[in-house]
């Protein structure tokens, strides 16, 4: 039986070609053709995924609307059209432009996140460093962390009444605990041999903390901040919907829903999703990668 030709992927062919073109003794060789293709591949994967997501939405809308839903389930296209009007044609969303809503939400987020970051890093460091209080301190932290975001509502309203401050408090309560846990476990995961080595060199407790534990844990710390940010973003919308902030994306969703303007709600949901992705995948993922590289944690 004749041998069937072995199928080779594009990657394998590119490598073979590069090898054939390279000088005989080279240990690192350039691969020309693959570089652009990799970007293309990633882009097409993302686009395909996106298309599938939209298709599911479209089918949903078609099915629901064919059943004669009285309100009309918004289709993707008209939602994007509406979003375009909010974004580019200056259409107002109940008294405020979408940018004002977005800005208000981001403001709530940043204030709450900044507070959560300070508390989470300080508390997480203390718990991570002092083994003796870790066992005790983790008890309240895990309890608070178990409380779902909106369950903080009565607490928030008792403390701050209805309005912005309550929303900020709820976001803070959730993300500070997430950050605390991430930071403390990052510090506790530092290999003991590094701490022993530093002790052997005569480093003081403060030096060990600042110059060994924190640098070694900093990728975990950034990762904890990333988790804190995404949980903050998630609870932000819910908090705004409930405590009546008057302006903000969550509040807009609530308002559009009450007024049966579902297309408006969908447009808001879309922008929330886009901004959330932008913050997490672009800004924070980049920060985490940069940190790992700077620290030499990634194998070269």
The answer to whether residue 136 forms part of the interface with another protein (CB under 8 A) is no
Instruction: Determine contact, residues 217/245, Cβ cutoff 8 Å.
Output: no
Which of 110, 194 has the CB closer to another protein? 194
Count of residues binding another protein (CB under 8 A)?
24
Of the listed pieces 103-111, 119-127, 192-200, 249-257, which binds another protein according to CB under 8 A?
192-200
Crossing angle of helices 164-188 and 153-160, rounded to 10°? 120
For tokens 């608070």, name the residue: 144
Q: How far apart are CA 83 and CA 264, in angstroms?
A: 8
Q: Contact letters (x/-) for another protein, 261-300, by CB under 8 A?
A: ---------------------------------xxxxxxx
The answer to whether residue 241 forms part of the interface with another protein (CB under 8 A) is no
Q: How far apart are CA 236 and CA 169, in angstroms?
A: 10
CB of 28 to another protein, least distance (A): 14
CB of 300 to another protein, least distance (A): 5
The answer to whether residue 198 forms part of the interface with another protein (CB under 8 A) is yes
CB of 137 to another protein, least distance (A): 20
Which of 150, 203 has the CB closer to another protein? 203
**Measured CA distances, 32 to 21, 45, 290 (Å):** 11, 22, 26
The answer to whether residue 63 forms part of the interface with another protein (CB under 8 A) is no
The answer to whether residue 28 forms part of the interface with another protein (CB under 8 A) is no
Which of 214, 239 has the CB closer to another protein? 214
Of 207-226, which residues contact another protein (CB under 8 A)? 207, 211-212, 215-216
Of the listed pieces 34-42, 48-56, 138-146, 188-196, which binds another protein according to CB under 8 A?
188-196
- Residue among 178, 206, 181 nearest 127 (CA): 181
Which of 158, 193 has the CB closer to another protein? 193
Which of 14, 207 has the CB closer to another protein? 207
The answer to whether residue 196 forms part of the interface with another protein (CB under 8 A) is yes
The answer to whether residue 193 forms part of the interface with another protein (CB under 8 A) is yes
Which of 199, 257 has the CB closer to another protein? 199
Q: How far apart are CA 22 and CA 211, in angstroms?
A: 44
The answer to whether residue 191 forms part of the interface with another protein (CB under 8 A) is yes
Instruction: Determine contact, residues 241/300, Cβ cutoff 8 Å.
Output: no
Using CB under 8 A, which of 31, 162, 203, 287 touches another protein? 203
For tokens 């994007």, name the residue: 80
Binding interface with another protein (CB under 8 A): 191, 193-194, 196-204, 207, 211-212, 215-216, 294-300
């Amino acid at each position: 039986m004749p041998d069937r030709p072995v199928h080779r992927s594009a990657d394998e062919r590119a490598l073979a070609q590069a090898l054939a073109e390279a000088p005989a003794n080279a240990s690192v060789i350039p691969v020309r053709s693959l570089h652009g293709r990799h970007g293309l591949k990633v882009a097409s994967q993302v686009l395909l995924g996106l298309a599938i997501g939209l298709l599911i939405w479209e089918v949903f809308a078609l099915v629901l609307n064919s059943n004669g839903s009285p309100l009309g389930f918004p289709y993707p296209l008209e939602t994007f059209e509406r979003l375009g009007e909010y974004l580019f044609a200056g259409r107002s969303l109940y008294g405020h432009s979408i940018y004002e809503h977005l800005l208000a939400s981001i403001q709530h987020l940043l204030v709450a996140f900044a507070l959560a970051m300070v508390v989470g890093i300080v508390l997480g460091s203390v718990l991570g460093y002092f083994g003796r209080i870790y066992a005790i301190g983790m008890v309240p932290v895990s309890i608070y962390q178990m409380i779902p975001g909106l369950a903080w509502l009565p607490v928030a309203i008792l403390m701050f009444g209805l309005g912005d401050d309550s929303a900020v408090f709820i976001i803070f309560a959730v993300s500070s605990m997430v950050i605390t846990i991430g930071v403390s476990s990052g510090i506790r995961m530092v290999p003991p041999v590094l701490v022993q080595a530093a002790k052997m060199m005569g480093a003081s407790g403060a030096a060990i903390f600042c110059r060994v534990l924190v640098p070694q844990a900093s990728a975990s710390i950034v990762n904890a901040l990333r988790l804190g940010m995404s949980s903050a973003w998630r609870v932000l919308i819910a908090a705004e919907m409930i405590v009546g902030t008057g302006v903000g994306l969550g509040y807009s969703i609530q308002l559009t829903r009450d007024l049966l303007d579902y297309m408006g709600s969908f447009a808001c949901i879309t922008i929330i999703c886009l901004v959330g992705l932008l913050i997490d995948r672009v800004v924070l993922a980049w920060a985490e990668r940069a940190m790992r590289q700077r620290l030499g944690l990634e194998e070269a």
